[in-house]
Chain A
Amino acid sequence: MLYLSQLLKTKIRDSSEKVVGVLVDIVIKPREGQYAPLLFLGARKKFSRQILYIPLSAVAALAASEITLRLRAANISPGAPKEGSVWLVKDIFDEQIVDVEGARVVRVNDLKLGLVEDAWCVIGIDVGLSGLLRRLRASWLDVFHLFEPSLIDWRKAQRVKGALRVDSLSDDLIRLHPADLANIIEDLSTKHGARLVRSLGDTVAAQVLEELEPRFQKILVDRLGPEKTSHILEKMSTDEVADLIQMIPPKEAEEILAKLHGRKLTSVEQLLRYEDNTAGGLMTTDLIRVKPSWTIQQALEEIRKHSDSMRSVLYIYVVDDAEVFQGAVSLRRLVFADPRQKVSELLIKDHPYAVLRVHYSIRDVVRIMTKYDLYTAAVLDRDNKLLGMVTIDDVMRHLHPQA
């Protein structure tokens, strides 16, 4: 077990036991998804500011309190770190990194080095208290070995400083659940958080934005600017967009709305009219409408056409030509039905009270959805016209905004 903190300030001796300098930093070459091989040891002579970069090929032994070289000092050709190299002490010690597996942001206390296929590499990051003590050369304080090193695999860590560009983002990070990504963004500084969102695709960014706490949504929208924000909002569900628009200053809101496309814009504007804690404020207009005269085949086609733009489809909603609500048909019933059947044949006369009215309070919404065991509920206006639907997760989020 070798840690960087144990190596630092160690004297580097050449093959004739002459001291070349003390170790002050190590240069690595980061590669995505792999342990990073050490390239150069940065040695500094006493009373000199200049750093000598010793290629790792010239190193004979690397151990705590002992670093020796294969050659005499005079025979070593010092290297020059190229662009894209990373300095372990300067760039990584004490900085924040994203622990991708744990989906959290931590600070680097120490780095673990090891041999991988005969090459020295950075293999782990110690983020625990023991790493902190080791850095301070105060490990003896931990007499009872209470603090286990808390190690993160180097390959599962994403650097934050100067590295959050699309090309350098690790696949594992992008593949995290949007809710976990949102937690990470909340832990990062606003600057880095915004940069991370920028480097995600618009669709993922939209999902992440939906998961963020309102406070952070507001900050991020401000940081991303109207152009990028409107791209992301295009991919968000209308009710979330409406909630977000309500939160930000009117001037910015207008600017963003102006950039949204026709259909999205009208539905968002429609939603903005309703009070926040009513069925109207909770509902989304992203739903699939079918006519009773359609065949099941047509209805399934309609789902295929729109499913891309919807978070989930559990029910389709049947309306007549005047948009009056006729009933809902579950996806399950559709799948098992004969494709040539008419939609109207599948309609069961629903219980007339198992729908929501647009002015219903959140308590009524909860009561009705619980009573009739609904995952989604249709929202109707006074004339029974279908306006939208409330899904169970919208209700949950409203009741538990922190989660």
Chain B
Amino acid sequence: MLKAKWPKIALILSVIGPAIIAGTANNDAGGISTYSYVGSRFGYAMLWVLLVNFITLACTQEIGIKLGVYTGKGLAALIREQFKIGWTLFALLTLFTANVAVTASEFAGIAAAFELFGFNKWAVVPIFAVLVWMFLYKGSFKKIERFFLFISFFLLVYVISAVLARPDWAVVLKETVTFRLPADFSFLIALLGVMGTTITPWGQFFIQSYVVDKGADQGDYRIQRFEVYFSAFFTCLIAAMIIITTKEVLFDRGIVVGNAATAASALAPVLGPLSAIIFAVGFFFASLLGAFILPLTTSYSICEALGFEHGMNTTWKEARAFYGIMAAVIILSAAFALQPFFSLFQVMLFAQVVNGILLPIILIFILILLAKGKQFGLPESSRLGNFFYFVITGETIIRLIIVSALLVTLTLFPSLSSWVRSFSLPF
């Protein structure tokens, strides 16, 4: 009986593709924390960012699958061949730094989930660091990947709780299209975080490698593109629901999320006493998925670009660099999650900000590749299509750079902030 039913379920699962995995991993512990913080701290003021994020995410990921489908090469390999070695190392270093930060946030997420039950992070993080590496080494990760996706449906809880919180939907809609950019230090940081958690350097490398691995060709491009749009929408929808929930439940009562426990309490009206447990489980698996994917993507990309043996079917003897780099990512990020200066929650937010700051570098590489595309077999896009690619991605790059620059300026000259605030910003 069970056997007869399996194939159908498997069929549905096989439809779940790279974009959905990437999208789900985007809404990891770091994502949930960032959105919770933003909703509880700024209310609806940042909803507009999600709308822009959706457009940007759909656009950049579409460029990613386009590059993958038409060249049959991963982003790292393509950068190596088109930009030669020096720039390649620069791109890889960027990716490595961003990914160590994100992996640290995943370990912090795992530790935060366990902290809700009173476990100490000094015990939890090292254990999971070792476990993650072992799973990756044994290559058993692929088998459980789909299982994680199921767990991630936990995020739908936020949709329910947002609806049950009875927000004023007219206000929500209006705020979604209202642009706000106060020259406030914490707002700018949070803005970078929200952008950095949704559109990520690793996501670009991941999606391109995934379509290449699947052997997707021109015929599959339309389906893949649809999937990208859908998953970008889903990712941002969940993000919006988290912000609405935390705004209605916490912001209105003046509570700012500062750790996993307060983040979990946003679900209390819906889940009651179970909220901590359900939140912790969801938080844990979302982080664990990221903790697997990130070291893997990092090492895969580096080995692909530098020509080292890589792949899940290799042994330690054949592919020392591949497993070594994974180990390096895991060790560095676990150490960063455990450092005594920042709390677990701060690590999670900080990682997204690092991502946001480093993202423009990778996006610039991608845009140049797109522009050079004719040289390596990319079909010419329609003028309108190209216009959108360049405008949307270009706008994101510029916005990220401006916000990062503002942030640096405000950090170096705190007095400027009050001065700047007396003007309305010109953009």
Does B associate with A? yes
Q: Which A residues form the contact surface with B (CB < 8 A)?
A: 89, 93-96, 104, 106-109, 127, 132, 135-136, 189-192, 213, 215-216, 218-220, 222-223, 402
Contact B81 A104 (CB under 8 A): no
12 A-B residue pairs with Cβ-Cβ distance under 8 Å, sorted by A, are A89-B84, A93-B85, A94-B80, A104-B309, A107-B80, A107-B305, A109-B85, A135-B85, A136-B89, A215-B215, A216-B215, A402-B313
Majority SS at the chain B contact face: helix
Q: Which B residues form the contact surface with A (CB < 8 A)?
A: 71-73, 77, 80-81, 84-86, 88-89, 212, 214-215, 217, 305-307, 309, 313
Contact B215 A219 (CB under 8 A): yes
B88: which A residues are within 8 A, CB to CB?
Answer: 94
Complex CA distance for A109 and B81, rounded to whole angstroms: 11
Complex CA distance for A89 and B84, rounded to whole angstroms: 9
A44 CB, nearest partner CB in chain B, Å: 16
Complex CA distance for A94 and B306, rounded to whole angstroms: 8
A132: which B residues are within 8 A, CB to CB?
Answer: 85, 306
B307: which A residues are within 8 A, CB to CB?
Answer: 96, 106-109, 127
Central interface residue in A89, A107, A135, A402, by most chain B CB within 10 Å: A107
A-B contact count (CB 8 A): 51
Complex CA distance for A73 and B263, rounded to whole angstroms: 74
Option from A93, A222, A402 in Cβ contact (under 8 Å) with B217: A222
A135: which B residues are within 8 A, CB to CB?
Answer: 85
Complex CA distance for A306 and B88, rounded to whole angstroms: 55
Closest 3 CB pairs of A and B: A107-B307, A219-B215, A189-B72
Beyond A189-B71, A190-B72, A192-B72, whether A222 also contacts B80 by CB under 8 A is no
A95: which B residues are within 8 A, CB to CB?
Answer: 81
Complex CA distance for A169 and B313, rounded to whole angstroms: 28
A93: which B residues are within 8 A, CB to CB?
Answer: 84-85
Contact A189 B85 (CB under 8 A): no
A222: which B residues are within 8 A, CB to CB?
Answer: 215, 217
B309: which A residues are within 8 A, CB to CB?
Answer: 104
A213: which B residues are within 8 A, CB to CB?
Answer: 313
Complex CA distance for A216 and B313, rounded to whole angstroms: 13
Contact B306 A223 (CB under 8 A): no
A109: which B residues are within 8 A, CB to CB?
Answer: 85, 307
B86: which A residues are within 8 A, CB to CB?
Answer: 136
A72 CB, nearest partner CB in chain B, Å: 33
Contact A136 B85 (CB under 8 A): yes
Option from A89, A94, A127, A190 in Cβ contact (under 8 Å) with B212: A190
Contact B84 A94 (CB under 8 A): yes
A189: which B residues are within 8 A, CB to CB?
Answer: 71-73, 77, 212
B220 CB, nearest partner CB in chain A, Å: 9
Minimum CB distance partner of B305 in chain A? A107
A223: which B residues are within 8 A, CB to CB?
Answer: 215, 217
B217: which A residues are within 8 A, CB to CB?
Answer: 190, 222-223
Contact A190 B215 (CB under 8 A): yes
Option from B71, B80, B81, B306 in Cβ contact (under 8 Å) with A191: B71
A218: which B residues are within 8 A, CB to CB?
Answer: 215
Complex CA distance for A107 and B309, rounded to whole angstroms: 10
Complex CA distance for A96 and B217, rounded to whole angstroms: 21
A220: which B residues are within 8 A, CB to CB?
Answer: 215
A188 CB, nearest partner CB in chain B, Å: 9
Complex CA distance for A135 and B88, rounded to whole angstroms: 12
Contact A94 B85 (CB under 8 A): yes
Minimum CB distance partner of B214 in chain A? A219
A247 CB, nearest partner CB in chain B, Å: 12
Central interface residue in B212, B217, B307, by most chain A CB within 10 Å: B307
A96: which B residues are within 8 A, CB to CB?
Answer: 77, 307
Minimum CB distance partner of B377 in chain A? A191
Complex CA distance for A222 and B219, rounded to whole angstroms: 10
